[in-house]
Structure 1
Amino acid sequence: DLFGYGLDAYPEKGVALPLGKGRIMRKAREDAKRKVAILSFGTRLAESVQAARHIETIDEEVGVTVADARWMKPLDTELVVQLATEHEVLITCEEGSIGGFGDHVLHFLALGGYLDDGKLKVRPMVLPDKYIEAGSMGEQYEEAGLSQRFIEATAMRLLGKEMKIRSSALVDEEPTIA
């Protein structure tokens, strides 16, 4: 029951996804003083939702919205603008690499002038450009810095808040927040 839907029940008939349209999976608390948006593309959606829930339980002034991009092209520019204008932090999270979805979003935001006033902090979370050891998917996401705790730490760091976690050997930046 991760997104409010039972995982054991399937709809009777499938519904086609609207082309180029993402969806908001979870909205930030209305009363939050500080707001973070996580725009997930692909497999990191469940971890993003779990990170959002945990952040809101450990810091009551922070609200976290999670959106499922669903499509890289065409990019849902309406969704990206909504997230960029309603939040002070925007994190893109994907099981991709440099030059992927996060860079596509950054390019759109830069060309549209959404970064010009310096109020929006944007951070793409992608697989590092390094070899990742064989292991379970969870172990590999952890090693790559794309697990729930790294998503949480990235959000808190961008808000200027402290959250201590041990580093992953593959992550370029030290994830310990000071």
Structure 2
Amino acid sequence: MENEMNEPSYWPSVFLAGVIVAFIMSALGLGSGYMTLGSEPTGKTFSAASFLGILVCLIAGIAGIIATRHYAREHDVTFPIGRGALIGFLSGVTAVTISTLVGLLWTAVIDPNMNQALYDWQIMNMEAANMTEEQIEMTLKFTPKPGSMMAVLSQFGIGLVVIGIFNLLTGMIGAKVFASEE
């Protein structure tokens, strides 16, 4: 207990990594949206914009590495793999939270028509896939409208779980590589 009180705070490292990764996620996420809007609906469910979305998730995993490296190097400390997992998880949660806020700010202030345009594009893409009106209506019932509270909360919740767990793992790797007691 006494040793934990003398250890430096890992929060600056968590926040730094979260901010860096959040802005990368936001830029690529918005880029993916604009790539979608700039393309013709083909009826396909997978596109270059979808690939970019997957790439965003993979890139988001670097938050745990950045945070543990920064913490270990900045304070010249070693710490167990469990602390690395915590630092990684918290950096992932921070990145998702900030990225969500940036996305909300972007679609509320800078481009308020983006969400409606994405929704309309989805409908045109389903029409291009030769779906009937009934099929489109059924699909839209189960798909939250972009920008709606349900869409934001579900995206945020999924991001917290997926990116949080991914960064938990990369934080463990970062602890082993940068802060190993061995």
TM-score (norm 1): 0.23
Larger radius of gyration: 2
- Structure 1 or 2: more strand by fraction: 1
Larger relative contact order (Cα-Cα within 8 Å, sequence gap ≥ 6): 2
TM-score (norm 2): 0.23
- Structure 1 or 2: more helix by fraction: 2
